[in-house]
Structure 1
Amino acid sequence: MNYRHSMTCYTEGIRPVAPVQWRGLDGMMSVFWDAEGQSGARAYYLSPDPRIVIFFNDVSPHIRMSNREGGFGQHDRPMTRALYVPAGVPLWTNFTSTHRFSHLDLHLHKDRLLRFLSPSVGTSAALAALRRPVEIQDVRVIETLASLVVDEVSNPSKHPVFAESLVGSIVAGLLDIPEHGAEPTNGRLTQAQMKKLISRVNDRPDCRLTVAEMAGTVGLSESWFANVFKQTTGKTPLQWQLGRRIELAQKLLSESDLTVADIAAQLGFSDQAHLTKAFRQIAGETPAAWRRLQQHR
């Protein structure tokens, strides 16, 4: 399949520090960048095709990303080592400090991905996976595969099918493809989606995400997510999230000497009274009374 990727891209304060390396393959384009972004640098990306970005160094302390225009400060998050961006999903990035980085961009034709995935997982599951964004920090095997792709992009030594098979392995390892029989049924979240959501919430020190951020984590619209989440857990997203924050408060009460006020501040409650009210609603006791009970057991 002859394929030329098309992407709207605006950058400011980012410059390549070495010649860009690229190679066209069957239904995909592989591009390797070695670049530097200045503090305050920013960029915008929008592609009609799916794409994968794999960084070869940790950029999370230096680059923030958002899928909303003007979302920095409210709806942004650290850039991860690898991400899959579905077709038509916009991405804004912002550098908080000067940083040199290298990454592999894989621009992929949707039909090529379907041709690769459908025989193994089915067309329905493949289409669902292509709609779900993925962001991971632990890249391990994927980084090794990406390095091999870069070698074939920079100095082709084998038939193109070798590089194409490497990209296929990256796709299979990165995309959120449900295990056999794990497709959503009756409007419920899959086990993989719940695991991803729990991991995302746990990564936040205060365990707080907006419903929009929770929906984006599993690749669903905010309204549809709220509906299927209630079907899955029996709770609204914010009720469930509050329950996890109270569980963390209980852990801190039993395993640390932090005051109730300190715990309230750490978990993002407005003050001690706010935590006490929420804690009593869920646990049936005030934090102080609950701690005393634990100490006498």
Structure 2
Amino acid sequence: MSYRHDFTGHTTNLRPIAPVEWRQLEHVLLAHWQTAGSSGATGHYVSANPRLSIFFNDMSSVSAISEAAPRKLARAIFVPAGMTLDTSFSKPLTFAHLDIHIDHAWAVRFLSAGVTRQRAVEILDRPVDRSDITEIEPMARALVGEIRDPRRHDLFASSLATCLLSGVLDIGTAEPDPGNARLTAAQMRKVARRFETGGGRRLSLSEMAQTVGLSESWFSQVFRNTTGKTPHQWQLENRVGQARDLLVGSDLSVADIADRLGFSDQSHLTRTFRRHVGETPASWRRRNR
């Protein structure tokens, strides 16, 4: 089994009204709880793995606190790994819920089929609340049925769990294939201006994409279609170009130029410069002055 359960929960005035029902799959642990809480009941929960909870009752009388401000407990919540969740009951309540405890590494691989790995990690680091579970509640109830009476292959229960996960997470819509799409001249000017404003220091892919209002994955592809280079290659060539200008047009030392352009040190600039120009900055300066 890939999933290793590491969950801690402390409650007061909450009690199960039926034995917990659970089922272990390769990458997830499924648990169905039926619980009663009195007015003033509290819960404190934290897990080393992300988890998804679907509630089959109106939970608006329960206050939930995580890293955000206090809010009403939604019908479906996704809690990232390591994030604490505290709940407080304002009135007596009997309720049932499905918990899906998820192996984080598997979840990253699962989401990476549709988005970049970096984006998958970002999605799993963000809590999500869903008040409307109309479309996913039937799947959640079907999964409870498979916990109680596993009549089908594990693949069926696992597929229901992944459908619920993708239905609750804030993944966004799929982007069209960029094909031969390119940045416009105006967009390229914006990117170049943003780079120049930074004094030659490297921009992150996110910063470059935000400059023209595109997602990172789409920007990366259309930028390459436009320039024939990756954003990293393009920036590196431009930084080397700025280094050449400073070597000829200023008295700054190679170390000072490296610092100004955001290279880690003089050696880093020297290695990069030699790779692109064919000689060290010092020898190139002597030959071109």
- Bucket of the pairwise TM-score, normalised by the shorter protein: 0.5 to 0.7
**How far apart, CA to CA, are the structure 1 residues paired with 2:70 and 2:7?**
22
For the Cα contact (< 8 Å) 2:2–2:103, is it kept in 1?
no
* SS of equivalent residue, structure 2 residue 59: coil
Match of 2:134 in 1: 140
Match of 2:18 in 1: 18
Identity of aligned residues (%): 38
* 1:165-216 superposed Cα distances (whole Å, 9 cap, x missing partner): 0001111111111334599654859999xxxxxxxxxxxxxxxxxxxxxxxx
Match of 2:170 in 1: 176
**How far apart, CA to CA, are the structure 1 residues paired with 2:97 and 2:83?**
19
CA-based RMSD: 2.4
* 1:119-176 superposed Cα distances (whole Å, 9 cap, x missing partner): 2222122111111110010001211111111000011100001000000111111111
Q: Which structure: larger Rg?
A: 2
Match of 1:163 in 2: 157
Runs of 4+ in 1 over 6 A off after TM superposition: 189-192
Match of 1:120 in 2: 114
**How far apart, CA to CA, are the structure 2 residues paired with 1:145 and 1:181?**
26
Match of 1:45 in 2: 45
* SS of equivalent residue, structure 2 residue 135: helix
Matched, 1:154 2:154: no
Which amino acid is the alignment partner of residue 34 of structure 1?
Q
Unmatched segments (≥5 aa) in structure 2: 177-204, 216-289
Match of 2:228 in 1: none
Unmatched segments (≥5 aa) in structure 1: 193-297
**How far apart, CA to CA, are the structure 2 residues paired with 1:153 and 1:173?**
20
Match 1:94 to one of 88, 96, 111: 88
Match of 1:63 in 2: 62
TM-score (structure 1 length as normaliser): 0.59
**How far apart, CA to CA, are the structure 1 residues paired with 2:3 and 2:47?**
14
Aligned residues: 186
**How far apart, CA to CA, are the structure 2 residues paired with 1:149 and 1:8?**
23
* SS of equivalent residue, structure 1 residue 10: strand
**How far apart, CA to CA, are the structure 2 residues paired with 1:78 and 1:186?**
37
Matched, 1:5 2:11: no
**How far apart, CA to CA, are the structure 1 residues paired with 2:82 and 2:21?**
25
TM-score (structure 2 length as normaliser): 0.60
Matched, 1:35 2:35: yes
For the Cα contact (< 8 Å) 2:114–2:174, is it kept in 1?
no
* Structure 1 position 76, deviation (Å): 1.1
Match of 2:70 in 1: 76
For the Cα contact (< 8 Å) 2:65–2:87, is it kept in 1?
yes
**How far apart, CA to CA, are the structure 2 residues paired with 1:20 and 1:132?**
28
Which amino acid is the alignment partner of residue 116 of structure 2?
G
Q: Which moved more, 1:119-128 or 1:44-53?
A: 119-128
